[in-house]
């Protein structure tokens, strides 16, 4: 048996329930992992609320780290006793132990502790695909990154600096802007007090940025388009302020032949070999010191409701983990 957070209906944090569930043995292509910590992400809130509808009842959570207890037939990259971490479907990481598909579970270097791994897998793999798989970026390119003081954002600030990419950060307070700058952002804009699109034009001397990476959604979408150079790329990868409403695609032509994409990390890690290669790149960034994972909030598993409330109220910075 393992303590597990489940939902039986969509709704607010109050629908999160602590339950004891049987774990069982792994089948072919599966592993059983005992968690040391698990990560908290906005996608968890989207699934809980019903923005991303789920078949109910279901467990929640998309990333965690711990020790492999058993492996099923056909699993060759992991063995019992191995340290491991993952960001993967299906949901179910908010628990002490689980059985899950092995393909996206990654061997964890000894140099990366479990808390750090749980805090960085989904966020770090997201930054990896944004910078290396969605659009080819190179030293000297400019990127506008929204919500840059969050878990994904602080990793992105450091990743960009390590590769000579000029990252313009936005955040919702002066303190959060300061944190983005401390983590490698070239500029930071408080989008609650400044017109960020106008400031981007000032910073880039009217040109606009090469790429916008926007996880905020509805409230920043139009300004993000207005921040791009002609033929620039808009990457919309989240909905923290709500989903982007339908829009006239002809606007992209009128604003300079803009490009737009709506990717997810799970498309990029769907193939075992891609996932393992991306994780290896992430581990190299962390073990080299180029990226430091900032864990600013820790909640016990049984306090998951408070964790969701803090995340949705924009009261968190850096990464948040649930401890076991």
The model's confidence at residue 136, banded by pLDDT at 50, 70 and 90, is confident
Q: Are residues 197 and 96 in the same domain?
A: no
Kindly state the helix (H) or strand (E) to which residue 171 belongs, with its residue range: strand 166-171
Q: Does residue 67 lie in a domain region?
A: yes
Q: Are residues 23 and 110 in the same domain?
A: yes
CATH code where residue 276 lies: 3.90.180.10
pLDDT digits (tens, 9 = 90+) for 48-87: 999 999 999 999 999 999 999 999 999 999 999 999 999 9
Cis-peptide, bond into residue 57, ω within 30° of zero: yes
Q: Which are the contacts of 59, defined by CB distance < 8 A and separation ≥ 6? A: 4, 5, 6, 21, 91, 92, 93, 94, 95, 98
Residues 6-23 as b/e (b if ≥16 CB within 10 A, e otherwise) read bbeeeeebebbeeeebeb
Q: Is the dihedral of CA 116, 119, 123, 129 positive or negative?
A: positive
Q: Is the dihedral of CA 117, 119, 125, 131 positive or negative?
A: negative
Q: Does residue 41 lie in a domain region?
A: yes
The span from the CA of 268 to the CA of 277, in Å, is 11
pLDDT value, residue 275: 98
Number of compact structural domains in the chain: 2
Q: Which of left, alpha, beta for 13 (phi over 0: left; psi -120 to 50: alpha)?
A: alpha
Measured over all CA atoms, what is the biggest interatomic distance in the chain, rounded to whole angstroms?
A: 60
The span from the CA of 125 to the CA of 121, in Å, is 6
Q: Are residues 21 and 116 in the same domain?
A: yes
**Residue ending a domain, choose from 241, 262, 283:** 262
Q: Does residue 130 lie in a domain region?
A: no
Q: Are residues 147 and 240 in the same domain?
A: yes
Q: Does residue 132 lie in a domain region?
A: no
Q: Are residues 221 and 238 in the same domain?
A: yes
Domain carrying residue 201: 139-262
Write down the pTM of the prediction: 0.95
Q: Is the dihedral of CA 270, 242, 182, 201 positive or negative?
A: positive
Q: Are residues 65 and 150 in the same domain?
A: no
Q: Are residues 249 and 168 in the same domain?
A: yes
pLDDT value, residue 240: 86
Q: Are residues 209 and 233 in the same domain?
A: yes
């Amino acid at each position: 048996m393992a303590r597990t957070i489940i939902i039986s209906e969509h709704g607010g944090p109050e629908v999160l329930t602590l339950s004891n569930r049987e774990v069982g043995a792994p089948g072919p292509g599966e592993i059983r992992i005992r968690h040391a910590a698990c990560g908290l992400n906005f996608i968890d809130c989207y699934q809980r609320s019903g923005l991303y509808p789920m078949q109910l009842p279901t467990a929640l959570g998309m990333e965690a780290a711990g020790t492999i207890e058993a492996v099923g037939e056909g699993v060759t990259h992991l063995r019992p006793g191995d340290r491991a971490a993952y960001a993967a479907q299906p949901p179910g990481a908010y628990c002490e132990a689980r059985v899950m598909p092995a393909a996206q579970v990654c061997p964890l270097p000894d140099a990366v502790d479990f808390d750090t791994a749980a805090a960085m897998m989904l966020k770090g793999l997201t930054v990896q695909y944004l910078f290396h798989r969605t659009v080819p970026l190179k030293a000297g390119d400019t990127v506008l990154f929204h919500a840059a003081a969050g878990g994904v954002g602080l990793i992105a600030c450091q990743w960009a600096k390590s590769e000579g990419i000029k990252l313009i950060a936005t955040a919702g307070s002066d303190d959060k802007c300061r944190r983005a700058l401390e983590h490698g952002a070239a500029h930071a804009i408080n989008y609650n007090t400044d017109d960020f699109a106008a400031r981007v034009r000032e910073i880039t001397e009217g040109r606009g940025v090469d790429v916008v990476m926007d996880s905020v959604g509805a409230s920043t979408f139009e300004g993000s388009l207005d921040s791009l150079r002609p033929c620039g790329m808009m990457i919309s990868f989240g909905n923290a302020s709500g989903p982007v409403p339908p829009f006239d695609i002809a606007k992209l032509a009128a604003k300079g032949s803009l490009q737009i994409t709506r990717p997810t990390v799970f498309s990029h890690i769907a193939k075992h070999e891609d996932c393992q290669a991306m994780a290896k790149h992430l581990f190299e960034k962390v073990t080299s010191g180029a990226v430091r994972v900032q864990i600013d909030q820790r909640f016990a598993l049984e306090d998951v409701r408070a964790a969701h409330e803090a995340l949705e109220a924009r009261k968190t910075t850096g990464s948040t983990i649930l401890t076991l």
